[in-house]
Chains A and B, each alone.
Chain A
Amino acid sequence: MKLNKLPVRTFNHIGLNEVNLDYDPGTYENIDFSENGILNLSGHKDAKVTIDVKENESLSVIMNYEAVGTLNVNTDINIAPRGELKLVQIDASEEGNRLINEVNANVGGEGRLNIIQILPGRGDVYSGATAELTGDRSECSMDVAYLTRKTQITDMNYVANHRGKETVSDILANGVLKDEGKKNFRATIDFKTGCAGSKGEENEHALLLSEDVINGSIPLILCTEEDVEGAHGCQIGSLSDDVLLYFNQRGIDKAGAEKMISYGNFSRLIREIDDDVLREKTDKLVSEVL
């Protein structure tokens, strides 16, 4: 199956246009989860999850993934005008399993979508989210923390399509690559004609901790509207000497500094888990993996 397709193709030899995965989905299990709470996805194989957020409604949904073999989850979200959804997705899969996670969302006028993905890295992850900001003044944020280690692959694709007027998007990925980890990060802000007054921003910080990692990044801005503001920035590399000196002066060595910063990427998002038990469990998982 083809996954994580870049909205606009580029040089083929860099291998970032899409992923061709050796996986054939079976029959999808349909799950409607339009309520506050935790959706545990363990023991599933192919699932289609639907989340509908009604007008003026505010929902907080946690999707907790525990893949056995391959877990393939497609989530369709519809947010009615002035609706709000905070969606936290946690990959708590055991070592060596594979997660395919795809989100497609439509956000109505003045609606708000906040996607948080916590990907602590015990198996391959293919994760993507596309937000259609169709309503005027609709907003979305996609906030991701990942760790890619051993020979793991983390392949990501986030897209914000600005269609309504004065829409806002914010895509942020903070991650760490260790061992022989391979990561691809695709992010697209697409300002469609008519989205006057819109703003979009995408940022990436990737900390590389091994000589054998492979980091791929491709942050796109596509624009057919004059009255917009779009920006992207990225910083890729190891900790600078200044940062290491700062930690060293406080008695923390290089390994300790790297661990602290890696943990910091996750802890900011773990705090967003609206469930004490799952929050503690995820925190423990991240600490163990780091």
Chain B
Amino acid sequence: MKEKTYVEDIDRSMYDFRNEDKDAYRLEEGLTEEIVLKISEEKNDPDWVRDLRLESLKIYNSMGLPNWGPSLDGLDINHISTYVKKNAKMADNWEDVPAEVKDTFEKLGIPQAERKSLAGVGAQYDSELVYHNVKDSVAKSGVIYTDIESALKTEYADMIKEHFMKLITPSDHKFAALHGAVWSGGSFVYVPKGVKLDFPLQSYFRLNAKGAGQFEHTLIIVDEGADLHFIEGCSAPKYNVANLHAGAVELFVHKNARLRYSTIENWSKNMYNLNSKRALVDEGGKIEWITGSFGSHLSYLYPMSILRGKGAKMEFTGISFANEGQNLDTGAKVVQLAPETSSVMSTKSISKGGGVCTFRSLVKIGKDAVNSKSAVSCESLMLDSESRSDTIPAMDIRTPYADIGHEAQIGKISDEAVFYLMSRGLSEEDAKTLIVSGFADNVSKELPLEYAIEMNNLIRLEMKGSIG
């Protein structure tokens, strides 16, 4: 009988540290109109935001849980605090951020990354942003990068009202409604016409509080001919009770603009990650999603792209790694409504130690999307027979003038490939490590350098000891 070697777990110690909830304002657990109004009051919402919250609450209460996907039985909103605020104002200088919060982000490497390779940074701690800053040169080019609450008090208030929760509406699903009711924090980015940023902007979301939810809203508008790379990172310490993340990301990519949206999701294993992301792309525009899903107890995550302009493009590159106690239901959706649009989805998943990876997708090609193309490719690697890997791709095609291709593969590491590498002098362990590194290579090479290094470290840790 073939002997299996041990594959190590991801070392999460760099994410698992936690701070006490002292100096924090925390609303009681549960979801009631009173709580929603308290959040609204706390945030000094304009009337339309308060009304949207109350309408969203009604929708939330009227909708059921999804009857597909992983079970949400372990999540009870009556045991989630929807708003926790550290007693700190948002700063644009790390020295003005409370020491333990600053220390948290130092450990996560955010200020260092800001100094080295970013055009601006936003850092959210529980329900509110604690730091936001953008380089002078970027600000001078007219780029707006701030929190939504602040932007609502500027000349961009009308722009926000025009776009906020218009792409992801409260009636989309139960957790979009929840988000509409209790959202807090997040970022607003506006890149003016023709402005191309040489360095990325980054938002980092840290949920420290036990039994709490984080509901940040990210709204990005990339105007005609502009170019932006936005990076989103998230993590949390592990608790023995459920935490909830139900953020929303709305992206508007105007004519001939490009937006790359990169995410490394590294939530702790008690997190229910029920995030919604959606992009609307105009003529000649392009949205690129780069997504790494490593954390959370359970995820529902399917970034959606609506290609409404002629020649609009979408690329989705993703990797998921599910380990013991994790059920990562991830994928992407694309709706192609205009001529000559194109979409490419390329995903990889690795299941280990009883973890469950599901790739779930939708390609919808409308009647007017003539001469459009779509290609979907997913590959899954099973590292043992306690784990699970499912592929659930759906296609809805309504024009004959489109070229639609789909392929998927599932399997183990090829014995022939291992033999080939061993015959050239590699040990069996090195051969298998090389094969798995290669398996994830198309994703890591698309990530920003610091994230690529982080991901490669995770893969190397996983493969230490190799696979039997």
Chain A residues near B (Cβ < 8 Å): 8-12, 14, 16-17, 191, 193, 196, 206, 208-211, 213-238, 240
Q: Which residue in B388, B392, B402, B410 is a CB contact (below 8 Å) of A237?
A: B402
Contact A227 B392 (CB under 8 A): no
Residues of chain A within 8 A (CB-CB) of B69 are: 9
Number of A-B contacts (CB under 8 A): 134
Q: Which residue in A209, A223, A230, A236 is a CB contact (below 8 Å) of B404?
A: A236
Contact B394 A11 (CB under 8 A): yes
Q: Which residue in B67, B360, B362, B388 is a CB contact (below 8 Å) of A224?
A: B388
Known contacts A10-B360, A225-B382; A218/B395 CB under 8 A: yes
> Nearest-CB distance from B394 to chain A (Å)?
5
Q: Find the B residue at minimum CB distance from A232.
A: B408
Interface SS of chain B:
strand
> Nearest-CB distance from B353 to chain A (Å)?
12
Q: Which residue in A12, A209, A224 is a CB contact (below 8 Å) of B68?
A: A12
Contact A10 B407 (CB under 8 A): no
Residues of chain B within 8 A (CB-CB) of A230 are: 408-411
| Residue B95 is within 8 A (CB to CB) of chain A in the complex | no
CA distance A130 to B191 in the complex (A): 54
CA distance A17 to B388 in the complex (A): 21
Known contacts A230-B409, A231-B407, A234-B406; A16/B388 CB under 8 A: no
> Nearest-CB distance from B383 to chain A (Å)?
7
CA distance A230 to B379 in the complex (A): 10
CA distance A235 to B400 in the complex (A): 12
Residues of chain B within 8 A (CB-CB) of A227 are: 385, 412
Contact B403 A237 (CB under 8 A): yes
Contact B405 A235 (CB under 8 A): yes
Contact A221 B408 (CB under 8 A): yes
CA distance A24 to B131 in the complex (A): 63
Q: Which parts of B375-408 form the interface with A (CB within 8 Å)?
A: 380, 382-385, 387-408
Q: Which residue in A11, A215, A238 is a CB contact (below 8 Å) of B362?
A: A11
Contact A14 B396 (CB under 8 A): yes
CA distance A11 to B362 in the complex (A): 9
Residues of chain B at interface, number, CB under 8 A: 39
Residues of chain B within 8 A (CB-CB) of A17 are: 68
> Nearest-CB distance from B44 to chain A (Å)?
37
Q: Which residue in B398, B403, B409 is a CB contact (below 8 Å) of A231?
A: B409
Residues of chain A within 8 A (CB-CB) of B407 are: 231-234
> Nearest-CB distance from B300 to chain A (Å)?
11
Instruction: Count chain B CB atoms within 10 A of each CB in A12, A215, A237 and give the residue with the most.
Output: A237
| Residue B464 is within 8 A (CB to CB) of chain A in the complex | no
CA distance A251 to B189 in the complex (A): 58
> Nearest-CB distance from B174 to chain A (Å)?
13
Residues of chain B within 8 A (CB-CB) of A219 are: 393, 406, 408
| Residue B193 is within 8 A (CB to CB) of chain A in the complex | no
Contact B390 A218 (CB under 8 A): no
Instruction: Count chain A CB atoms within 10 A of each CB in B67, B399, B400 and give the residue with the most.
Output: B400
Residues of chain A within 8 A (CB-CB) of B360 are: 10-11
Q: Find the B residue at minimum CB distance from A214.
A: B398
> Nearest-CB distance from A8 to chain B (Å)?
6
CA distance A226 to B68 in the complex (A): 25
Contact B406 A233 (CB under 8 A): yes
Contact A8 B390 (CB under 8 A): yes
Residues of chain A within 8 A (CB-CB) of B68 are: 8-12, 17
> Nearest-CB distance from A221 to chain B (Å)?
4
Contact A10 B385 (CB under 8 A): no
Contact B400 A210 (CB under 8 A): yes
| Residue B367 is within 8 A (CB to CB) of chain A in the complex | yes
A to B CB contacts below 8 Å, 21 in the list: A8-B390, A14-B362, A210-B400, A215-B395, A215-B396, A216-B394, A217-B397, A218-B395, A219-B408, A220-B392, A221-B410, A222-B388, A223-B388, A226-B383, A230-B411, A231-B410, A232-B408, A233-B406, A233-B407, A234-B404, A236-B404
Q: Find the B residue at minimum CB distance from A231.
A: B409
Contact B406 A224 (CB under 8 A): no
Residues of chain A within 8 A (CB-CB) of B66 are: 12
Contact B367 A211 (CB under 8 A): yes
Residues of chain B within 8 A (CB-CB) of A218 are: 392-395
Contact A224 B394 (CB under 8 A): no
Contact A14 B397 (CB under 8 A): no
- Shortest beta-carbon contacts, A-B, top 8: A208-B400, A9-B68, A236-B404, A215-B397, A230-B410, A238-B400, A217-B395, A226-B382
